[in-house]
Structure 1
């Protein structure tokens, strides 16, 4: 597996993880000014060749200290290089049809291509949307037990919230009928339909926003799409209901594939990781392959790392710090960070009602990082944050 590693990760931590000689740390720290490309566990002669070819291209690579002696069978590799040097390395490795080096070359090339600024275009029943800048998705919870009481809506308040979202610059609204907060109990399909469909119909008649429906049930998704929804947001990543992928493929709409372990009721029992970002990368590769095998097209897929889902606060912060690593998978990235409990902990244990300013700060950070969609409870403050950051980056 080949992936980029964020510059926000301590290089010493990465070198220690590889098993590099501590005496070499200073050398690599002096060269850590460009891209970091991580290659997981390759046969030790391949690791040695990659390092030598990196040096011949003017780059460098960290490997396990015993690669040169052959005392380890495998080693991960951390390449420190600029784009020109990586292209040189790709050209060299492609000529080596042994130890998987030519395949590694192709993966490095793919990572480079997906790293480049890409404009994604979502094609939906009610139009198309270019994800060149960060877009805001406003949450409408048609539930009595969502963790933030201010997000709970009925038919009347839901319509008001949707109109407000449109007037204040949101691109999407996301209607959910089943709470997915930690510990939430599962409700029946009939109850979910009763909560979602009437609100969806009413909102569809009044606003031109793109409407997402937050559901993991195929029948709810199908009825939502029949009643004006534009995309489906599935916290189970197409795993809960085996018919969900077929519905997405049949209707040709975008789908948000989120990372989670367990269920909302049990997920925090599974919040343990040896390498969180590797887990996310592996999970999304597998889920994307599954989606494609079911007839879902690449341009329909959006990825969500699942902030707060089977993750402790330290995990959530690591995902946010390294969010750009997910961009190299080649799909738009959505982050739902609004008023989450991690923010409450950071701010001294404040309730969800007092986490707005922290949420807006995270929205600003994610916009600067280049996240494609932020899913939030409060439209105007977050839209303003996006506009302010984009103005610094691109001008008014």
Structure 2
């Protein structure tokens, strides 16, 4: 089993997305069989992924929530197969249900990635505290059905910062240690195109709080809107541009589908950072 913590600050990490759902926005149904998931995991690891993020509940706008029982039916066979095939891999579980996270950790996962930052199931925070595992707190509002109607901000950077600080306080009160926390600004979650762009311009404000920052722009709608590209899988170069900007603003990990190209982007952007080793 790998070390569940990355050397934050040494280089930008890359988290590979592995959707186990039939309805994810860009690759739904491609990896929802364990054998297909294992093959994709092998590819992402070979391309340089530091962490694999397994999700069995789509969180795209408008997605139907299936509940923890169905989520586990999708997740556990793939998780166990990937763990057996790649015992060295770091595995993250993308869930907002404590029972799903608990079963996943028992099956060999290392991280919890909660798009609701503990808001949907507060028991998840207590679980993370007991496990001592890395915990990604993402800024979001509402759920998949309601979030598009909640994209109202006066100052999106300030309000996302405040939301993440409040989520962190709640997690710490539940027993989570500060060094477990990772922040995700939640691009595309209750944010429209202009708000996502403003948030990306202001990421340094979030990074200045000292919590490692994970950014997940991969193939998202706001990139399609800017590029006038309706096909999610054709948004690689827009994603790459966002990733480079995110690194320049202090992001320490990128969550993406296209691991190979983004690893190259990250290495080059790291070399160009003003604080890069001489």
Q: Deviations over 1:100-134 (max 9, x none)?
A: xxxxxxxxxxxxxxxxxxxxxxxx97443211211
**TM score, norm. by length of structure 2:** 0.94
Pick aligned residue for 2:111 from 221, 227, 231:
231
Pick aligned residue for 1:249 from 94, 114, 129:
129
Confirm or deny that 1:130 pairs with 2:4.
no
Supply the distance in 1 between the matched residues of 2:137 and 2:113 (Cα, whole angstroms): 7
Pick closer, same or farther for the CA change 1:315–1:151 going to 2, 3 Å: farther
Pairwise CA distance, 1:375 = 0.2
Q: How many residues align?
A: 273
Pick aligned residue for 2:95 from 202, 207, 215:
215
Q: Any gaps of 5 or more consecutive residues in structure 2?
A: none
Pairwise CA distance, 1:161 = 1.3
Pick closer, same or farther for the CA change 1:150–1:363 going to 2, 3 Å: farther
Confirm or deny that 1:171 pairs with 2:50.
yes
Pick aligned residue for 1:181 from 60, 64, 79:
60
Could you tell me whether the CA contact under 8 Å between 2:19 and 2:27 is conserved in 1? no
Pairwise CA distance, 1:349 = 3.6
Pick aligned residue for 1:206 from 85, 105, 112:
85
Supply the distance in 2 between the matched residues of 1:389 and 1:243 (Cα, whole angstroms): 38
Q: Any gaps of 5 or more consecutive residues in structure 1?
A: 1-123
Q: Which residue of 2 aligns with 1:78?
A: none
Q: What's the RMSD between the two structures over aligned residues? A: 1.6
Pick aligned residue for 2:175 from 295, 311, 314:
295
Pick closer, same or farther for the CA change 1:330–1:159 going to 2, 3 Å: same
Could you tell me whether the CA contact under 8 Å between 2:22 and 2:29 is conserved in 1? no
Could you tell me whether the CA contact under 8 Å between 1:140 and 1:152 is conserved in 2? no
Q: Which residue of 1 aligns with 2:26?
A: 148
Greater shift in the superposed pair: 305-314 or 196-205: 196-205
Q: Deviations over 1:3-39 (max 9, x none)?
A: xxxxxxxxxxxxxxxxxxxxxxxxxxxxxxxxxxxxx
Residue 208 of structure 2 aligns to a residue whose secondary structure is helix
Higher strand share: 1
Could you tell me whether the CA contact under 8 Å between 2:203 and 2:250 is conserved in 1? no
Moved beyond 6 Å, runs of 4+: none
Could you tell me whether the CA contact under 8 Å between 1:344 and 1:351 is conserved in 2? yes
Pairwise CA distance, 1:151 = 7.9
Give the alignment of 1:268-279 within 5 angstroms.
268-279=148-159
Name which structure has the greater RCO, CA cutoff 8 Å, separation 6+: 2
Q: Which residue of 2 aligns with 1:264?
A: 144
Q: Deviations over 1:59-90 (max 9, x none)?
A: xxxxxxxxxxxxxxxxxxxxxxxxxxxxxxxx
Supply the distance in 1 between the matched residues of 2:52 and 2:29 (Cα, whole angstroms): 12
Q: Which residue of 1 aligns with 2:36?
A: 157
